[in-house]
């Protein structure tokens, strides 16, 4: 029996399937920098809000290959005409066979001519179908590549707030499942719709040419087909939207569980995790069953209804042959057209599962594309650079950072920082200490303009950071985070990520500063050793040393160390501290640390609690004060 309560089930569906809780005030997320309190936006996948807008946006992408599209449509037209003409040839062939006015030799001759004509027409139709499919695949893939590139480009331009409020699994699902659904629709469905429309128009025309009475009888049954298709389509659309949402929930849970697998095992949470996953998987199964049922039943239902129309046409046509002189050949091709008349509707119905899944997926993709990007730099924004890396047209800065009466909250009405005033002179080391959620990481996020402040100013060498180009600002701030992240590639490439134009000698020098050179030399290929996923073939401490080396290679005059030594042992920490002294030389450094022993030599130690500065001074001054810092340092109270 499942141990998951109904409340927990609702929480799982809400968190992963619709809206997910964030890590909380100042909380950490894998690969993040700490984030805002509140809740994640959903995994999406709901019912498309505006189908016509979504379709028009998709058409705009394939419309970029206009010449190829026109050629595809020409091939579709040729294929449809070949199909209709091939069927119409049957009328004179059959009438000749049953004609009493022709000899057997004449009948055979006319039959062979008719068969050869039909063969030529159908071969031409096959060629058209081959060309249309071949070209349409390329057109659809071109569109898909463009959508994927724009989506990835938009992800790079979104503010950190978006990544702090969306699960990695949700974002990945939009790149994989949702785009795959869109690609499937673009590959086949668009052509089938156009082909179906042409076939339908041509079939109706030839039906009236053949026998207008039978045409009216057949068309009368059309409302039944339309009604059935519309009813099933509405059901199918709702369930396919739910399926996409549930699929995103499963992906989000898998991503989070795999990332935190060690934590799951440490706390013996395997059984609970399996039960929670089983619940989400079962929810996906139920929604998939409903979606696939209503999507799959359309074909048979529409097919059977078309058989009813076919039977009625054949019966009435037989009566007309007996009573009104309607020819046998005409009856034969009309019954064939009667089937073709319902085929486009049936094919479209059978494609509804693809269409609705694709529209739901496309809307999730466009939802990301429509997110507001980071605030653009003003037109008169300036460039800055360090003295070590002078650039033409850029203002050289020394690294003075001033926070003037800064107030900030991640969400309106909930202030995280209140009237913060800090002055960091060039080359000074400023340390932030305080309880979890006090706002330490938030301060560094604001300095880097990952978030925009509500009140006050942040100045670098007297320049408001709002007037500095973001790219220029961040390139002059080196950062070492608590959460390590290494990219696939060699050790050398990962260190050089801090400055892509760095030489091999500078890479080695940076590794020595971070005390990473010795362990790198012991690797199988040294600096050319290829790292596995996120540095899985290194220890946690070694990964952090490479992150520190990445910051060391940068010539940025401002350095942020956010719990940079939290992942290394005490012995390694001592080596790193010596390297850090070299790393911090002539740099303005902001240090966030829980180990108070690492900040004793700071020029200023700022104690934050509940977003306010309650104490500020050197290590000796704060100990003499006997306040909060003294209590933390002596162990009278603990950092929570």
Query: Could you give the C-alpha distances from 241 to 236, 251, 299, 367, in angstroms and in order?
Result: 9, 16, 20, 15
Q: What is the pLDDT of residue 314?
A: 80
pLDDT of residue 230: 66
| Structural domains of the chain sorted by starting position, each given as residue range(s) with its CATH number in brackets | 49-369 (1.20.1560.10), 487-555 (3.40.50.300)
Contact 76, 69 (CB under 8 A): no
Does residue 244 contact residue 178 with C-beta atoms inside 8 Å? yes
Mean pLDDT of 375-404: 86
Q: Which of 487, 525, 630, 512 is nearest to 582 (CA)?
A: 512
134 pLDDT exceeds 80? yes
**What is the C-alpha separation between 305 and 297, in angstroms, rounded?**
12
**What is the C-alpha separation between 467 and 378, in angstroms, rounded?**
7
Residue 638: per-residue pLDDT: 57
| Exposed e or buried b per residue across 554-575, where buried means at least 16 C-beta atoms within 10 angstroms of its C-beta | bbbbbbbbbbbbbbbeeebbee
Q: Which of 6-10, 172-176, 613-617 has the lowest mean pLDDT?
A: 6-10
pLDDT of residue 607: 92
With a cut of 70, say whether residue 80 has pLDDT above it.
yes
What's the pLDDT score for residue 27? 36
- Does the structure show a pLDDT above 50 at 105? yes
Portion of the chain with pLDDT greater than 90, in percent:
14
Q: How far apart are CA 473 and CA 428, in angstroms?
A: 19
**Highest mean pLDDT: which range of 137-146, 209-218, 223-232:** 137-146
Q: Please, which pLDDT band fits residue 213 given cuts at 50, 70 and 90?
A: confident
Whether pLDDT at 204 is above 60: yes
- Reported residue count of the chain is 640
pLDDT in tens, 586-623: 889 999 877 776 788 889 999 998 889 999 999 999 99
Average pLDDT, integer, range 442-462: 90
For residue 517, pLDDT beyond 60 = yes
Q: What is the mean pLDDT of residues 619-633?
A: 88
């Amino acid at each position: 029996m499942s141990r998951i309560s109904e409340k927990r089930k609702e929480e799982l569906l809400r968190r992963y399937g619709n809206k997910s809780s964030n890590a909380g005030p100042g909380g950490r997320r894998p690969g993040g920098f700490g984030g805002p309190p509140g809740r994640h936006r959903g995994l999406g996948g709901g019912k498309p809000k505006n189908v016509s807008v979504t379709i028009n946006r998709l058409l705009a992408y394939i419309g970029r290959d206009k010449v190829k599209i026109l050629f595809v449509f020409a091939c579709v037209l040729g294929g449809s005409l070949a199909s209709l003409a091939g069927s119409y040839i049957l009328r004179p062939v059959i009438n000749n066979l049953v004609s009493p006015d022709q000899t057997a030799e004449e009948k055979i001759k006319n039959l062979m001519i008719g068969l050869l004509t039909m063969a030529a027409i159908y071969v031409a139709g096959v060629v058209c179908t081959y060309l249309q499919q071949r070209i349409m695949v390329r057109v659809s893939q071109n569109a898909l590549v463009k959508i994927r590139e724009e989506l990835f480009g938009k992800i790079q331009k979104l503010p950190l707030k978006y990544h702090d409020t969306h699960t990695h699994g949700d974002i990945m699902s939009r790149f994989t499942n949702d785009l795959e659904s869109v690609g499937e629709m673009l590959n086949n469905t668009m052509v089938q719709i156009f082909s179906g429309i042409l076939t339908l128009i041509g079939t109706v025309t030839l039906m009236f040419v053949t026998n207008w009475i039978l045409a009216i009888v057949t068309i009368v049954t059309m409302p039944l087909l339309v009604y059935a298709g519309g009813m099933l389509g509405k059901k199918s659309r709702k369930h396919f939207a739910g399926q996409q949402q549930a699929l995103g929930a499963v992906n989000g849970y898998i991503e989070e569980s795999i990332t935190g697998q060690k934590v799951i095992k440490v706390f013996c949470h395997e059984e609970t995790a399996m039960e929670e996953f089983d619940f989400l998987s079962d929810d996906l199964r139920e929604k998939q069953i409903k979606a696939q049922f209503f999507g799959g039943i359309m074909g048979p239902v529409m097919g059977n209804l078309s058989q009813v129309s076919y039977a009625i046409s054949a019966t009435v046509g037989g009566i007309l042959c007996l009573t009104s002189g309607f020819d046998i050949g005409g009856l034969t091709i009309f019954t064939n057209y009667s089937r073709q008349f319902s085929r486009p509707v049936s094919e479209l119905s059978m494609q509804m599962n693809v269409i609705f899944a694709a529209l739901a997926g496309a809307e999730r993709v466009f939802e990301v594309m429509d997110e507001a990007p980071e605030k653009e730099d003003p037109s008169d924004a300036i460039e800055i650079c360090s003295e070590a890396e002078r650039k033409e047209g850029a203002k050289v800065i020394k690294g003075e950072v001033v926070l003037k009466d800064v107030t900030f909250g991640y969400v309106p009405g909930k202030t995280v920082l209140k009237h913060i005033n800090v002055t960091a002179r060039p080359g000074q080391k400023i340390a932030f200490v305080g309880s979890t959620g006090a706002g330490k990481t938030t301060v560094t996020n604001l300095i880097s303009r990952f978030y925009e402040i509500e009140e006050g100013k942040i100045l670098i060498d007297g320049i408001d950071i709002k007037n500095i180009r973001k790219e220029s600002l961040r390139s002059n701030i080196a950062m070492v985070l608590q959460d390590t992240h290494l990219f696939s590639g060699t050790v050398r490439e990962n260190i050089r990520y801090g400055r892509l134009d760095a030489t091999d000698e500078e890479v080695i020098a940076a590794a020595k500063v971070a005390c990473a050179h010795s362990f790198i030399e012991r690797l199988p290929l040294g600096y050319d050793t290829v790292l596995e996923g996120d540095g899985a073939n290194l220890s946690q401490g070694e990964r952090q040393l490479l992150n520190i080396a990445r910051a060391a290679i940068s010539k940025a005059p401002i350095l942020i160390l956010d719990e940079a030594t939290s992942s290394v042992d005490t012995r390694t920490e001592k080596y790193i501290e010596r390297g850090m002294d070299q790393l911090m030389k002539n740099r303005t450094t902001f240090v966030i640390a829980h180990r108070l022993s690492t900040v004793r030599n700071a020029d200023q130690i700022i104690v934050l609690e509940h977003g306010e500065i309650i104490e500020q001074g050197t290590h000796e001054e704060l100990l003499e004060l006997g306040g909060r810092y003294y209590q933390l340092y002596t162990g009278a109270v603990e950092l929570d």
